[in-house]
Structure 1
């Protein structure tokens, strides 16, 4: 792993545990095992490290969703894969998930506008993928002739709900709930 990635990984851990205001470049450097000036070879400062981490987290989530989009597969298969892959990603990137929660609940003032903008952009890209899956599922006769916009929004809320459930339940419980949650949703929209 490169030094830059080690800096981001260590900073993610520290930000998730202590929040933005409770962190310093010195603490990040100590966690990595380098001198503080070395951090500045890769980042302009603490703000820049923080921006890189949360952008990676959002990009990773969106890439996970995009990777499951394939018109050759059934709508049911794609939707289930999106939800399961998002859960897998959140467990794999546990610290980044905790960081995103902190950002959603209390973003640093200097980032509020950027965070809102990036979350909106990520959500819009996710929405467009979901909209296409629902549209294609309706055209193929898998899904009732419902409003694709409403279906996509509903599915995003389902994904958000699962994300918050992940903060309270262990991995085994979440995967048990995944089947129940998805099947209930699917039974409500399938033909």
Structure 2
């Protein structure tokens, strides 16, 4: 058994069941080990949860940085609308993304302070990426305001993915994108 295999199983389990519903015994069963073997790599359930959150955070940051730094001059509708559309696909395709988004909005209370620091780091990083991008575009609002507004749009879509499903996500995306885009460009 490898640590990577254990972490991958933890992503699946916690991504599906959350912290409280997730179980070290279920994770161990999934990879065919005894629960006690997990303690070879992690001191506790909290330790494992925090480790996979850090990995998921880095996974999401790497994606956003790569996406936003490629083709910087690309027009807003060709750059940011596809990004928002990818959000849902990433949630379906990557256990790291599903776990990360779930944890951002359903944070275990006893880990809230630690996880919130990392979440704010993520949000601040995204705000700067979006601000840098918007500063290259011809828009009628400040790059800072556009970045914050875009983050609010992204945030609402994350929530819809968690609670509303595909149809509601698409409905929210279509309506909010139209208003966001017109608001910063006309």
Asked if Structure 1 and Structure 2 have the same fold, meaning a TM-score greater than 0.5 normalized by the shorter chain, the answer is: yes
Range with bigger deviation, 47-56 or 116-125? 47-56
Structure 2: gaps (5+ residues): none
Task: Tell me the residue number matched to 2:176.
Answer: 181
Q: Is 1:148 matched up with 2:143? A: yes
Gaps of 5+ in 1: none
- Alpha-carbon offset, residue 131 of structure 1: 0.3
Judging changes above 3 Å, is the alpha-carbon distance between structure 1 residues 21 and 80 closer, same or farther for their aligned structure 2 residues?
closer
SS at the partner of 2:40? coil
User: CA, structure 1 residues 3+122, in 2 after alignment: closer, same or farther (shift >3 Å)?
Assistant: same
Deviation at 1:117, TM superposition (A): 0.7
Return the alpha-carbon distance in structure 1 between the equivalents of residues 155 and 47 of structure 2. 27
Provide the residue aligned with 1:137 in structure 2.
Answer: 137
Q: Distance in 1 between matches of 2:104 and 2:80?
A: 27
Q: Displacement of 1:148 after TM fit? A: 1.6
Deviation at 1:102, TM superposition (A): 4.9
Task: Name the CA distance, whole Å, in 1 between partners of 2:128 and 2:148.
Answer: 10
Structure 1 position 21, deviation (Å): 4.4
Which one has a larger percent helix, Structure 1 or Structure 2? 2
Query: Cα RMSD (Å) of the superposition?
Result: 2.7
User: How far did residue 185 of structure 1 move?
Assistant: 1.4
What's 1:40 paired with?
39
Deviation at 1:115, TM superposition (A): 0.7
Paired residue for 1:87? 88
TM-score (norm 1): 0.79
Matches within 5 A, 1:109-128: 109=110, 111-128=111-128
Shift of 1:31: 2.3
CA–CA separation in structure 2 for the residues paired with 1:99 and 1:74: 29
